Amino acid sequence: MISLSYYIACAVVLYIIGMYCLASKRNMIKLVMGLEIMVNAAHVSFIAFSAYISPGYIDPLGHSVVIMSISFAGCVTALALVIVTYAYKHYKTLDVRKLRRLKW
Amino acid sequence: MFTPPLDTLLVFMIGTPAIGWVIHKKGYPKVQGIYASAGLLVAAYFLYGLSREVSEKGIVLITGPPPFNPPLGACLQIDVFSVFMTMVYIIIGLFTTVYSIKFMERDSGLTEYYTLMLGMVAGMTGVVFAGDFFTLFVFWELMCLTSYALVAFRKQKWESIEAGFKYLIMSAAGSATILLAMSFLYGMTGTLNFAALADRLANTSSEGWLYITLALVIVGFGIKAAIVPFHTWLPDAHSAAPSPVSAMLSGVMVPTGACVLIRILLLVFSSAQPAWQMTLAIFAVFTMFGGNLMALLQNDLKRLLAFSTIAHMGYIVFGFAIASPEGLAASLFHIVNHAVMKSLLFLCAGAFIRQTKTRDLRKLKGIGKTMPMTSAAFTIGTIAIAAFPPLNGFWSEMMIITAGVRAEMIIFSALMLTNVALSVVYYFRLIRIIILEKPTKVSKKATKAPVLMLIPILVLAFLCVFIGVYPVPYIDASSKAAEAMLNIGAYIDVVLRGL
Amino acid sequence: MEINLIRLAGLTTVILAILIFWMLIVEYDFPAFKYVDPDQPPELVENDTSIIGQRVSRFLWNYRVIDLIAQAFVLFAAAACCMALLRVEERKR
């Protein structure tokens, strides 16, 4: 089996990619996708730990956390997409840099 | 199910759409608000019963049936600190719900509004009741989801949508960070229960990964608690939300982030205590300065109050960073005082804005002549929050500064004193604008606020004076709550030794 | 494709961060399950894809009942949020 460190490194790399996506993308829907990537980093980490607790066995606690957390991420994405719909209606663009009327 | 107060809030949250559907057919407009307020009153009654039980037993543990108990199972662990914070949430929630019966009457979608308000109070209650990290995360998501929709509630205005989107992205990134930190803690110990984590991680000071997890926890909860590099969502969200929602967000939801942060730091990261104390103290100083300096430049009433919230969160986080019994008690007392004063200010601001349709301070000059009672309450709130002696803000801020001096953090206490003095400048600017200037055209057209909006405002103003004149029972309650927070041995014993 | 200087700097920072973190993580091992309680053995399930789903569901229903009920309320609140934002404004004239 591959050593556990590689899975943790993958989780941290996914988290950094998600943060980069949030910081640099302009399209609002891509920002929502960046959020999903960040949450999935934590999911990968949970499943990796739950598989390495003991050879040949898994720990169901990690899996149950991931099952419930996937549905929360879905709820947040649904709400975010509703807000993006209204933002498109008001600003006529999906570019997040145009949402700058609120300053200082 | 769970405990009676949390059950009541959740059941009333589900009942509100049913009531809304019934009255939609019949046509009585205000029943949903009255139903929601009644729900909060019933929850307050059950909370009183729960507080008697907690003061006898110390800690109340709600868990599944015996083979399936913690540390593997989920649990709710209620101690004096949880009951103390829930009392604040329910009282401020009650006042804002009564206020919004009249304030939001011209908006549509009131059924969903009251459902979401009850959901937010239920989520905050669950967050402080939780005994397991994942239970806390579930209720944290409940609190966050309802607050996203409440900030973006007036969706026909561009401002609410922009502020709501920015808030959602930053806060959901914070939740993802918390989840990653949770996974590392699970990886280190194999459990997610707070008592088991506290027991297992008690002597591990030389573990590098613990410090990485600590950084992730501070960032994740710090985004919600408006600590300075992560505070940029707060001014927009608080000014764009409807005023009762701003009062709830600013008065109780932002301090909840700080409370949960300190709870986790005290329980789980007790071996890294010197590290997080210094980090939190430095962040607190930046937060205080950031909030106060930005508030000096504002011309928008609600944005100024939002920056003032950031500054007060700096004071509260500084009190938590002291981590001694006096520091924690002072911060908890300041959370109570800040909730009362800040919601009073936001509710009065809402009354001004509803009558004049503008938030600009230059146009609101002299509104004290046309709205006398609201302006009197606003003045009392501003004097209280500027820490003047006979009112309640003075006691808690002085307690935090004294606790800092006693714990040898003298530079930080001196910086906090400078900040308190600096904040008096813009609070007095507010009083001068509201009372002493000549009325402009816009403020002359304002009429008095309706009675149902005045009642919560006057009760909160009375509470400011009352707590200020006789603070002793509140200081005692905060001290007991702080002791319960620091009593980690009892917390662990209840779960692991099965008392 | 325009090469914006800030964008290039951002990309370089991220790639450097990924490489550094990868090397650090593989170098310094994660203390996996170092602090497990020796008296509380975890409930384990055999790593066999045909029974994992059923066993994890049973674990969820037995041990994590509080979280499941709270999650039902969260889903209800999410539905209420979407209804609040997708409502139709009645035009009262």
| Residue B366: pLDDT band with limits 50, 70, 90 | confident
Interface membership of C47 toward A (CB under 8 Å): yes
pLDDT of B109 reads 84
Q: Distance between CA B449 and CA B455 in Å, rounded? A: 10
pLDDT of B440 reads 81
User: What's CA C58's distance to the chain center, in Å?
Assistant: 21
Kind plus residue range of the DSSP H or E element containing C21 = helix C5-27
Type of residue found at B494: V
Asked whether residue A41 carries a pLDDT value surpassing 60, the answer given is yes
Mutate to test the interface with A, among B155, B183, B239, B303 (most CBs of A within 10 A): B183
Yes or no, beta carbons of C78 and A78 under 8 Å apart: yes
Which residues in chain C touch residue B152, judged by CB atoms under 8 angstroms apart?
Answer: 85
Higher-pLDDT residue of B267 and C36 is B267
pLDDT of C91 reads 64
**Residue B404 φ then ψ, to 5°:** -65, -40
Instruction: Give residues with Cβ within 8 angstroms of B416, minimum separation 6.
Output: B285, B288, B314, B315, B318, B397, B400, B401, B404
Yes or no, beta carbons of B191 and A19 under 8 Å apart: no
DSSP secondary structure code for residue B255 in this structure: H
In B50-60, which positions are buried (b, 16+ CB within 10 angstroms) versus exposed (e)?
Answer: bbeebeeeebb
- Across the interface, of B75, B108, B115, the residue whose CB is closest to C89 is B108
CB pairs under 8 A between A and B: 105
C14 lies in some domain:
yes
| Residue B498: pLDDT band with limits 50, 70, 90 | low
Higher-pLDDT residue of B234 and B62 is B234
Higher-pLDDT residue of B20 and B207 is B20
pLDDT of B317 reads 94
Instruction: Give residues with Cβ within 8 angstroms of C93, minimum separation 6.
Output: none
Nearest-CA neighbor of C38 among B189, B238, B499?
B189
Compute the nearest-CA separation of A103 from chain C (Å).
22
pLDDT of C88 reads 85
Longest alpha-carbon distance in chain C: 71
| Residue B334: pLDDT band with limits 50, 70, 90 | very high
Nearest-CA neighbor of B122 among B16, B12, B223?
B12
The interaxial angle of helices A4-24 and B158-189, nearest 10 deg, is 170
pLDDT of A94 reads 87
**Residue B75 φ then ψ, to 5°:** -150, 160
Torsion of CA C65, C70, C74, C76, to 10 degrees: 80
Percent composition of chain A: helix, strand, coil (DSSP 3-state, to 5): 75, 5, 20
Higher-pLDDT residue of B205 and B227 is B227
pLDDT of B368 reads 83
Residues B17-27 have a mean pLDDT of 81
The predicted-structure confidence for B341-357, as pLDDT tens digits, reads as follows 999 999 999 999 988 88
Asked whether residue B295 carries a pLDDT value surpassing 80, the answer given is yes
pLDDT of B20 reads 86
Q: Distance between CA A76 and CA A66 in Å, rounded? A: 15
Yes or no, beta carbons of A102 and B168 under 8 Å apart: no
Enumerate the β-bridge partners of residue B78: B60
The HSE-up count of residue B46 (CA atoms within 13 Å, CB side) is: 15
- Across the interface, of C32, C42, C83, the residue whose CB is closest to B72 is C42
pLDDT of C45 reads 76
Asked whether residue C93 carries a pLDDT value surpassing 60, the answer given is no
Q: Distance between CA B236 and CA B226 in Å, rounded? A: 12
Q: Could you report the predicted ipTM of this complex, rounded to two decimals?
A: 0.96
- Across the interface, of C30, C65, C84, the residue whose CB is closest to B109 is C84
Yes or no, beta carbons of A72 and B187 under 8 Å apart: no
Which residues in chain B touch residue A83, judged by CB atoms under 8 angstroms apart?
Answer: 148, 152, 161, 164-165, 168
pLDDT of C78 reads 95
pLDDT of B58 reads 80
Binding-site residues on chain C for chain B (CB distance < 8 A): 28, 30-37, 40, 42-43, 62-67, 69-71, 73-74, 76-78, 80-85, 87-90
Compute the nearest-CA separation of B30 from chain C (Å).
17
Yes or no, beta carbons of B64 and C63 under 8 Å apart: yes
The predicted-structure confidence for B448-457, as pLDDT tens digits, reads as follows 888 888 999 9
Lowest mean pLDDT: which of A41-45, A55-59, B8-12? A55-59
pLDDT, averaged across chain B: 90
Which residues in chain B touch residue A45, judged by CB atoms under 8 angstroms apart?
Answer: 180, 183-184, 187
Nearest-CA neighbor of A70 among A29, A45, A42?
A42
Interface membership of B1 toward C (CB under 8 Å): yes
Q: Distance between CA B235 and CA B429 in Å, rounded? A: 19
The predicted-structure confidence for A70-103, as pLDDT tens digits, reads as follows 999 999 999 999 999 999 998 888 888 877 766 6
Lowest mean pLDDT: which of B30-44, B54-68, B117-131? B54-68
- How far is CA B297 from each of CA A101, B292, B352, B423, C72, rounded to the nearest angstrom? 17, 9, 21, 12, 45
Mutate to test the interface with C, among A12, A17, A19, A46 (most CBs of C within 10 A): A12
Yes or no, beta carbons of C67 and B113 under 8 Å apart: no
Residues B483-496 have a mean pLDDT of 85
pLDDT of C2 reads 60
Residues B125-149 have a mean pLDDT of 94
Q: Could you check whether the bond before residue B71 is cis, i.e. omega within 30 degrees of 0?
A: yes
The HSE-up count of residue A91 (CA atoms within 13 Å, CB side) is: 23
Yes or no, beta carbons of C29 and A5 under 8 Å apart: yes
| Residue B69: pLDDT band with limits 50, 70, 90 | low
- Across the interface, of B149, B240, B297, the residue whose CB is closest to A104 is B297
The HSE-up count of residue B87 (CA atoms within 13 Å, CB side) is: 23
| Residue B175: pLDDT band with limits 50, 70, 90 | very high
- Across the interface, of A13, A24, A61, the residue whose CB is closest to C10 is A24
pLDDT of C83 reads 92
pLDDT of C41 reads 66
Yes or no, beta carbons of A64 and C33 under 8 Å apart: no
Residues C82-86 have a mean pLDDT of 92
Nearest-CA neighbor of A87 among C79, C85, B243, B300?
C85
C80 lies in some domain:
yes
% of chain B surpassing 70 pLDDT: 98
**pTM (two decimals):** 0.95
Nearest-CA neighbor of B337 among B380, B278, B275?
B380
Q: Distance between CA B236 and CA B170 in Å, rounded? A: 12
Yes or no, beta carbons of C14 and A67 under 8 Å apart: no
In A84-101, which positions are buried (b, 16+ CB within 10 angstroms) versus exposed (e)?
Answer: bebbeebbeeeebeebee
pLDDT of B234 reads 93
Yes or no, beta carbons of C45 and A20 under 8 Å apart: no
DSSP secondary structure code for residue A53 in this structure: S
Asked whether residue B143 carries a pLDDT value surpassing 80, the answer given is yes
**Residue C16 lies in domain:** 5-85
Token pair for residue B29? 């407009």
Mutate to test the interface with B, among A72, A84, A95, A101 (most CBs of B within 10 A): A72
Which residues in chain C touch residue B115, judged by CB atoms under 8 angstroms apart?
Answer: 77, 80, 84
The number of domains in chain C is 1
Residues in chain B: 499
Q: Distance between CA C79 and CA C85 in Å, rounded? A: 10
pLDDT of B23 reads 82
Architecture of domain A4-98: Orthogonal Bundle (1.10)
